[in-house]
Amino acid sequence: MSKGVRGILFDAGNTLVYIDPVRMVKIFRAEGVDVDTEGFRAAELDARCLLHGGAGAGSRGTEPELWLAYFVDLFKRNGASGRTADRIGRRVRREHAAAHLWTHALPGTAEVLESLKTAGYRIGVISNADGRMEGALETAGVRGHFEFVIDSAVIGIEKPQPEIFRAGCDALGLAAHECLYVGDLYEVDYVGATAAGLHAVLIDPLGFHGQRAETVSTLSQIREWLHDHGRRSSDASHEA
């Protein structure tokens, strides 16, 4: 276990679960746009630049204009524009309203979470969501790994407000400095968590935040980050 860190709190969307590529490809094909899952995944990853670039100071990561820009770019990268993009957009809204679209866990996610629990870490989820994130994690097959899910729509507090991070620490029964927050958005997750007194690291496959935050490329690298963090903490204590 990393020196000083006893609990890990995770963001959900684009950290643990991602937009379902199979369902999205079906939507595109229903409107006559020929795209496959691998092509969609590559385009979706690139489109996330809009989320990272648009989530500035004070952002909650849920602003409609932020997600509109993301989807417009996503549709365009997959060959849909104009009226076709409008029709796809309506289908996406209906599909998401009927059943949460962020229900795709990457291969190896469950194994990473189980390894963290086996190593002795307490783990939970804090998400800015619409009240359905616990069910989305259940559908993705990862809910059972967590002690709890804090959904902003349920408790009425959103990241980056410090109260929501402290609620997660309290639920673990740990002090803020004993907890690590793992997310993907700099202003919402990293700045919010560190301002509340937690350690933080971003899942950053695009290399977007490496100059200003602690980052890893994939969830599987969290164990390595924790090991390095523990070593740095030990070295610092010896120097003191």
42 plus 145 within the same structural domain = no
Q: Specify the pTM.
A: 0.93
Domain holding 163, by residue range, is 7-16+105-239
pLDDT in tens, 108-138: 999 999 999 999 999 999 999 999 999 999 9
Residue 64: is the preceding peptide bond cis (ω within 30°)?
A: no
Q: Tokens 């690298």 appear where?
A: 221
| Upper half-sphere CA count for residue 4 (Cβ side, 13 Å) | 19
In a domain, 2, yes or no: no
pLDDT in tens, 139-168: 999 999 999 999 999 999 999 999 999 999
In a domain, 1, yes or no: no
216 plus 113 within the same structural domain = yes
Residues with Cβ within 8 Å of residue 11, at least 6 apart in sequence: 125, 126, 127, 159, 181, 182, 183, 184, 185, 189
Number of domains composing the chain: 2
Q: Has residue 217 got a pLDDT over 80? A: yes
Given a contact cutoff of 8 angstroms between Cβ atoms, the answer to whether 44 and 206 are in contact is: no
For the chain, give the mean pLDDT.
Answer: 93
Q: Has residue 233 got a pLDDT over 70? A: no
Return the top range by mean pLDDT from 41-55, 131-145, 202-216.
131-145
